[in-house]
């Protein structure tokens, strides 16, 4: 008999403003403990140096985390010029120092950015990235001194903006596709400038449908998880924290929605077809009409029939 998971059944997405200096898994475990959740997962790791948007999926919301992993992202970064590190960021060891050109201009740097880092580009991920080779993250192999060939990959840069140019620093904002490594952009930019560069600051502003103003710092969440004057039960804290969660379907808000009757929903959840034809094609969000109950993700085939793909569990919460 399978063991019941420890913790309570709570479904939703918490948008964490990740602090610097902690791993994504470390903050994930903190959020999971604060919620007392039985199940939790994040949607794309940020390096310890990085801050910003880290959606934490709790309970059934973890079923839709892959959509966020594959979504577009927006970052703000500071490139430190004249210094290269082995990890391409400030956490690494310095491997080269060169003088920064004294004739850099906003116009010149912006032209370089648009010519080399706009649209579909090829980039080589850092050897210290979380990409896996035979099940091992590359950064673990790199720290052991094991050299591996990292193949270039194609990514899309929808927008790259020069925000600020100082003597030895450049502030950038980048809107990009999944799999884009900002460290690689900064490393390549330093090479093109002839002086080298590394990431001094990195902040993720957006992930898929989630915007920067929706995030909450970990410290604020921890404060809300403490007893307030007049409170005498853990249920008060849980209710306050639960109100911060976004519904699981927000992770796939960009998909069109379809509504089913209660009977059609029941049939779909039992593995049967719902019997109706739809005009939409492709993946859709499924709701039960009149109840606003989210059923899950389905796919409408060429003939218009809906098939389930990832459905919310119908098992009662423990």
First to last CA, the chain: 16
pLDDT reported for residue 128: 59
Q: What is the pLDDT of residue 150?
A: 67
Q: Could you give the residue range(s) of every CATH 3.30.2350.10 domain in the chain?
A: 12-70+211-242, 76-202
Q: Start-end ranges of CATH 2.30.130.10 in the chain?
A: 255-311
Distance (Å, whole) CA 249 – CA 308: 15
What is residue 106's predicted lDDT score, i.e. its pLDDT?
A: 96
* CATH label, 255-311, candidates 2.30.130.10, 3.40.50.2300, 1.20.1250.40, 3.40.30.10: 2.30.130.10
Indicate the pTM of the whole model. Answer: 0.89
Q: What digits encode the pLDDT tens for the residues 241-297?
A: 999 999 999 999 999 999 998 888 888 888 777 778 888 899 999 999 888 899 999
Q: Which residues of the chain have pLDDT under 70?
A: 1-5, 126-150, 314-318
What DSSP string describes 157-226? EEEEEEEEE-SSEEEEEEEE-TT--HHHHHHHHHHHHTS-EEEEEEEEEEETTB-GGG-EEHHHHHHHTS
Supply the pLDDT for residue 131: 60
Would you state the pLDDT for residue 223? 95
- Measured in residues, the chain has a length of 318
Active site residue 302: no
Strand partners, 197: 81
Topology adopted by domain 12-70+211-242: Pseudouridine synthase (3.30.2350)
What's residue 180's pLDDT?
Answer: 94
Question: Quick one: CA dihedral 13, 19, 20, 21, positive or negative?
Answer: negative
Question: Could you tell me if 280 and 300 are in contact, meaning their C-beta atoms sit under 8 angstroms apart?
Answer: yes
Q: By CB neighbour count within 10 A (0-12 exposed, 13-18 middle, 19+ buried), where does 154 fall?
A: exposed
Burial 298-310 (b: 16+ CB within 10 A, else e): bebeeeeebebeb
How confident is the model at residue 5, as a pLDDT?
63
The residue to which tokens 């900064």 are assigned: 186
> Residues near 255 by Cβ (< 8 Å), separated by ≥ 6?
283, 284, 285, 297
Q: Which of 47, 103, 171, 188 is catalytic?
A: 47
Q: Which fold has domain 76-202?
A: Pseudouridine synthase (3.30.2350)
């Amino acid at each position: 008999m399978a063991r019941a998971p420890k913790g309570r059944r709570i479904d939703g997405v918490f948008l964490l403003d990740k602090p610097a200096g902690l791993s994504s898994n470390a903050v994930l475990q903190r959020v999971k403990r604060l919620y007392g959740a039985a199940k939790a997962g994040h949607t794309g790791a940020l390096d310890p140096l990085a801050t910003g948007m880290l959606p934490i999926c709790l309970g059934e919301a973890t079923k839709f985390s892959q959509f966020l992993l594959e979504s577009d992202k927006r970052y703000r970064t500071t490139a430190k010029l004249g210094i290269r590190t082995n990890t391409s960021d400030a956490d690494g060891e310095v491997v080269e120092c060169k003088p920064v050109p004294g004739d850099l201009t906003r116009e010149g740097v912006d032209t370089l950015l648009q010519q080399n880092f706009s649209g579909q580009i090829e980039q080589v991920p850092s050897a210290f990235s979380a990409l896996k080779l035979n099940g091992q993250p590359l950064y673990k192999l790199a720290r052991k001194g094991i050299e591996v060939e990292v193949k270039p990959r194609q990514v899309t840069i929808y927008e790259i903006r020069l925000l600020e140019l100082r003597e030895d620093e450049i502030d950038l904002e980048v809107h990009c596709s999944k799999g884009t490594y900002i460290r690689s952009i900064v490393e390549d930019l330093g090479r093109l400038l002839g002086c080298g560069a590394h990431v001094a600051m990195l902040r993720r502003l957006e992930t898929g449908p989630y915007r920067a103003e929706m995030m909450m710092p970990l410290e604020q969440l921890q404060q809300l998880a403490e007893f307030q004057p007049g409170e005498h039960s853990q249920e008060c804290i849980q209710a306050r924290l639960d109100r911060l969660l976004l519904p699981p379907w927000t992770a796939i808000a960009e998909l069109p929605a379809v509504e089913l009757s209660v009977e059609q929903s029941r049939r779909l959840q039992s593995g049967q077809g719902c019997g109706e034809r739809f005009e939409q094609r492709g993946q859709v969000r499924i709701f039960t009409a009149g109840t606003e109950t989210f059923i899950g993700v389905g796919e409408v085939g060429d003939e218009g029939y809906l098939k389930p793909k990832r459905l919310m569990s119908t098992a009662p919460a423990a």
